[in-house]
Structure 1
Amino acid sequence: MKTFLLSLAGVLPFLSVVSSQGLPDPAALAQMGVEWETSQHASPNSTFYTVPQNFSRDLAPGTLLAVEQATNLSSYLVPSSLTLSRIMYTTTNLNGTIQPASAYVLWPYAPAPWFASSSSSSSSPSFPLVAWAHGTSGLFATCAPSNYKALMYHHFVPFALAKQGIAVVAPDYAGLGVSKTPDGTHIPHEYSASPAQANDLANAVIAARAAFPSYLPSTGPFAVVGHSQGGGVAWAYAQRQLEDPVPGYRGTVAFAPGVQVVEMITKARNGGVGPIQTDTLFGVQRLISAGITAVYPSFNFTGVTPVGYERWNILAKVQGCMPTQGLVFAGLENRDTVTLDFTNDSTTLEFAKRTKVGGKPFKGPLLVLAAENDVSLQPEVLESIVDETCEVLEAGNSTESLEYALYEGVNHFPLISASQAEWMDWVKERLSGEAGSKKRDCDAPPKARCTKRRVKGFRTDVSVQFPLPNFLVTEAEAVWQYGL
């Protein structure tokens, strides 16, 4: 019910858009939503995402296909001292098929002072790098963060990092932005296939280095940071780094990571998570059904009820992203849009097995940050996955470190701002080569260094805890618009 109220709140000024039954007409609302989303695009009809004819599935992953050296920022909302580039490159999906994908590179005004001394020259500086994995934006080409005026996470992560003198490379993920090959073949977004998006992340680093070798050396230091869907991607990248390492890797930060989500939905079905998280997870089940269908077309949205599928087709017709999805599904309980047997389906279970993140060895260090009041996932469930991972590390005599911190009194997106003092320092320490200088590192045991702690906030009883991504306090009637 809460999701319905959040979505419908944004519809109140538009109640002339109703069906004969007195409920908001989903098709009309979809059109309204996508019109607003289009207004947030930097280039509504951008040709950048058209794949050049030099694309071939025989190319190696990380091959550069196109470079936009200096993106025109006149239609973006990027801080004036920063600049932007966009690239197109090859990556691999979950089945190992070569696909084209897009990414942006956000450039600081100058390298961080603690890094500048290592630059080759003032005329051609090199930069420390963060590979940024964004959270759920949607499932269609229109949902690419690189074409949003504020790059979707704006001051939360990419602007914050770049203003500290750190370059940011951020994949849109395959299927977002670039949607078809030169011969017209559709590229679906394999939502929740975190290892596939980890490939997108790794290959974006490789391609960005190829595009800008003077600024991003092939062995220069980089860290990985991700939130929500991207938190799962970041963790999956840490696992990938063991098997297919990219030079220069210094560690991973995962905010509120979406890991083992099918298992979380199973827990929700069995009453193992709170009611708010259960409602959210049922909504996520729709997205995962689309992600599984992208990998296994014969799955054909098993896990979505007829009424859910009808609404999904309305969303797909207009290529709507997360704000529009909230409008399209207004008036429905999330549990009424998904089937009960989804988590018992053999294809679902196979997908979950192939995409499992957590409970596996990884290349660290790994910092996992969780929000006590997260509407999207139960922190106790996430902590159990952390414990499972630590048991694997101990059993394998691993020397990698995993640090878990639970931030009290904060929600899914406010977690990023609440923890900025910690994660920003953590990233800087590792990119600068000073990791281990902090007391918590020195005190860690020599083997599998798994630590857990709680962070108590100041005045969390009176702070505004808005669950959606906009960092400003928003008006209630516009709440649906802040899914970007």
Structure 2
Amino acid sequence: MRFPPHQLLSLLFLWVGAIENANISALVVENTEIAVNFERTNWATGSVAQDPFYRPPPVTNSTPPGTVLAVEEFTDTTVYTLPPGLSLSRILYVTETLNGTAIPASAYVLWPFQPKAFRSEYSSLNVSGVPVVGFAHGTSGVFGECAPSHIRNLWYQYSAPYTLALQGYAVVAPDYAGLGVNRTSEGEDILHAYLNNPAAANDVFYAVEAAQNAFPELSKQFVTMGHSQGGGASWGAAQRQHSRPVTNYLGTVAGSPVTNAAELIAINPANVAIVGLLSRGLQSIYKTFTDKEWLTEAGVALNSLAKEIQGCNSADYQLYSDPTQWLRPDFAESWYLGAYVNLTSVGRQPISGPMLVFQGTQDQAVNHTVTSRVVQDTCSLYPESQIEYAIVEGATHVPALYAVQQLWLDWIEDRFMGVKVEAGCRSRNISSLRPVANYQPELSYYLQYALEPYVVA
């Protein structure tokens, strides 16, 4: 269902008991309601629960990952906030969980007006068709409603997908398993395993494979790219390429990557909010896990409330604002945290293919010292790794994408041009042309859906 601004209703009064059990203040309730209503006004196709596109056909373990389940060739762009000259498709496909289970998932394909051309006299590759970038998004939430494919601005808008498509690339972007398609055809929940980098890497590879099968005009060659949660996924793609090589993979870009959740929490206590998100999907890996392992009674109630609301990033930011209320002080001693991090973190492992990593020094979410240490450790352990590391002076989390846009666009173009990358690691510091204090530090806008022509005249 869609909620026009003039018809927004109170969403939380239905859960008075859950609110009391979660012990959250009236201010948090009010802020969460505002956040949930804001999120729902940005649904392009209404709730995923009502959109028949997200209802998958049956999938069994004999269904090969990468199989195309459904194709919406021409998605209605008038309900999105896309730039002019771009087209959109959505697909359902089969991906693979960390334990090898085949499950349905959703993705979008963002099409350029014209494909990027690579001058043959300078290229050592014969790129035929629309060049493909598999894009892994940063944290949007952990419920079905948090799928970028049904959010008006595709969640990352000009930060990466719009920019890539406007440059002539076809962007194939998985929602990640559990987002968008959150139930099997039999009605079983598909839980999103948050920060499960190897599983998210599977989502990227199989989304690209399915899109290439669905649309023959796409190139066989592809680059992967991701940011934040997706930066960890794209680093996971480089590791996956080492153990399970895929033909025509050209390399990956890992921006502000979440490599190790435990290290991020240890260096910045504000990051404990991710524990709430991790706890919601951990049963997809460990059947014996319950959120009581990490959360107080109020925290368990908060998770229950969050599941009822089906809120995403904006709502989570409000709901989990006070960890002293919901987080057990001994959560880090739980066996499950260490086991999950060891199973799903990236870095300090071999990779194949070239990888560009960039990281802002003022990043509030992913501390640059963590990323630098993981890069250095990986290069020490595997000195033949083809890693280029760019440290972006003064840049914060998402703004780092904008600050070094030229860097990653040129790097991706070089991969499609067949430019060779020598073995070994290289790092450099990138500073601003003018004093960094004089630059716009954060996003100060969002793309608002225009209801009347005069708004964009």
Q: 2:289 aligns with which of 289, 299, 302?
A: 299
Is 1:361 aligned to residue 361 of structure 2? no
How do residues 367-386 of structure 1 correspond to structure 2 at under 5 angstroms?
367-386=356-375
Q: 1:189 aligns with which of 166, 189, 192?
A: 192
> Could you list the per-position Cα deviations for residues 281-340 of structure 1 after superposition, in whole angstroms to 9, with x for gaps in the alignment?
11112222223233213211222222222222211111000101122234x2x3543223
Give the letter for the 2:137 counterpart: H
Number of corresponding residues: 421
Give the letter for the 1:255 counterpart: G
Alignment partner of 1:112: what SS?
A: coil
Q: What is the Cα deviation at residue 229 of structure 1?
A: 0.3
Is 1:350 aligned to residue 339 of structure 2? yes
Alignment partner of 2:258: what SS?
A: coil
Alpha-carbon distance change, 454 to 319 in structure 1, aligned in 2, over 3 angstroms:
same
Structure 2: which 5+ runs fail to align?
A: 1-9, 123-127, 448-457
Match of 2:6 in 1: none
How do residues 228-239 of structure 1 correspond to structure 2 at under 5 angstroms?
228-239=228-239
What is the alpha-carbon distance in structure 2 between the residues aligned to residue 471 and residue 166 of structure 1?
A: 27
Match of 1:50 in 2: 55
Q: What is the Cα deviation at residue 28 of structure 1?
A: 5.4
Q: What is the Cα deviation at residue 22 of structure 1?
A: 10
Alignment partner of 1:374: what SS?
A: coil
Match of 2:143 in 1: 140
Is 1:402 aligned to residue 362 of structure 2? no
Q: What is the Cα deviation at residue 193 of structure 1?
A: 0.9
Contact 1:303 1:341 survives alignment (8 Å): yes
What is the alpha-carbon distance in structure 2 between the residues aligned to residue 465 and residue 28 of structure 1?
A: 28
Contact 2:276 2:320 survives alignment (8 Å): no
Alignment partner of 1:221: what SS?
A: strand
RMSD: 2.5
Contact 1:304 1:339 survives alignment (8 Å): yes
Contact 1:30 1:315 survives alignment (8 Å): no
Q: 2:274 aligns with which of 256, 278, 284?
A: 284
Alignment partner of 1:361: what SS?
A: coil
Match of 2:40 in 1: 38
Alpha-carbon distance change, 52 to 32 in structure 1, aligned in 2, over 3 angstroms:
same
Give the letter for the 2:239 counterpart: Q
Q: 2:430 aligns with which of 442, 445, 455?
A: 455
What is the alpha-carbon distance in structure 2 between the residues aligned to residue 343 and residue 94 of structure 1?
A: 23
Contact 2:87 2:112 survives alignment (8 Å): yes
Alpha-carbon distance change, 312 to 174 in structure 1, aligned in 2, over 3 angstroms:
same
Alpha-carbon distance change, 387 to 102 in structure 1, aligned in 2, over 3 angstroms:
same
Single out whichever of 281-290 and 186-195 deviates more from structure 2. 281-290
Match of 1:150 in 2: 153
Identity within the alignment, %:
36
Match of 1:64 in 2: 68
Give the letter for the 1:57 counterpart: N
Contact 2:280 2:303 survives alignment (8 Å): no
Give the letter for the 1:83 counterpart: S
Contact 2:193 2:284 survives alignment (8 Å): yes
Alignment partner of 1:236: what SS?
A: helix
Q: 2:302 aligns with which of 302, 311, 317?
A: 311
Q: 2:413 aligns with which of 392, 408, 428?
A: 428
Alignment partner of 2:206: what SS?
A: helix
> Could you list the per-position Cα deviations for residues 253-288 of structure 1 after superposition, in whole angstroms to 9, with x for gaps in the alignment?
1110001112332xx2xxxx3xxx321x11112222
How do residues 101-116 of structure 1 correspond to structure 2 at under 5 angstroms?
101-114=105-118
How do residues 322-333 of structure 1 correspond to structure 2 at under 5 angstroms?
322-330=313-321, 332=322
Give the letter for the 2:56 counterpart: V
Alpha-carbon distance change, 22 to 389 in structure 1, aligned in 2, over 3 angstroms:
closer
Give the letter for the 1:34 counterpart: V
Give the letter for the 1:41 counterpart: W
Structure 1: which 5+ runs fail to align?
A: 1-13, 119-124, 475-484
Q: What is the Cα deviation at residue 390 of structure 1?
A: 0.5
What is the alpha-carbon distance in structure 1 between the residues aligned to residue 30 and residue 426 of structure 2?
A: 50
Contact 2:354 2:386 survives alignment (8 Å): yes
Contact 1:88 1:100 survives alignment (8 Å): yes
What is the alpha-carbon distance in structure 2 between the residues aligned to residue 165 and residue 356 of structure 1?
A: 32
What is the alpha-carbon distance in structure 1 between the residues aligned to residue 309 and residue 145 of structure 2?
A: 10
Alignment partner of 1:56: what SS?
A: coil
Alignment partner of 2:380: what SS?
A: helix
What is the alpha-carbon distance in structure 1 between the residues aligned to residue 444 and residue 31 of structure 2?
A: 25
Match of 1:472 in 2: 445
> Could you list the per-position Cα deviations for residues 398-434 of structure 1 after superposition, in whole angstroms to 9, with x for gaps in the alignment?
3x3111111111110100000101111100111122x
Q: What is the Cα deviation at residue 106 of structure 1?
A: 0.6
What is the TM-score when the length of structure 2 is the normalising length?
A: 0.87
Match of 1:5 in 2: none
What is the alpha-carbon distance in structure 2 between the residues aligned to residue 264 and residue 39 of structure 1?
A: 32
Q: What is the Cα deviation at residue 26 of structure 1?
A: 4.6
Contact 2:44 2:152 survives alignment (8 Å): yes
How do residues 246-257 of structure 1 correspond to structure 2 at under 5 angstroms?
246-257=246-257
What is the TM-score when the length of structure 1 is the normalising length?
A: 0.82
What is the alpha-carbon distance in structure 2 between the residues aligned to residue 403 and residue 238 of structure 1?
A: 13
Contact 2:228 2:366 survives alignment (8 Å): no
Contact 1:115 1:128 survives alignment (8 Å): no
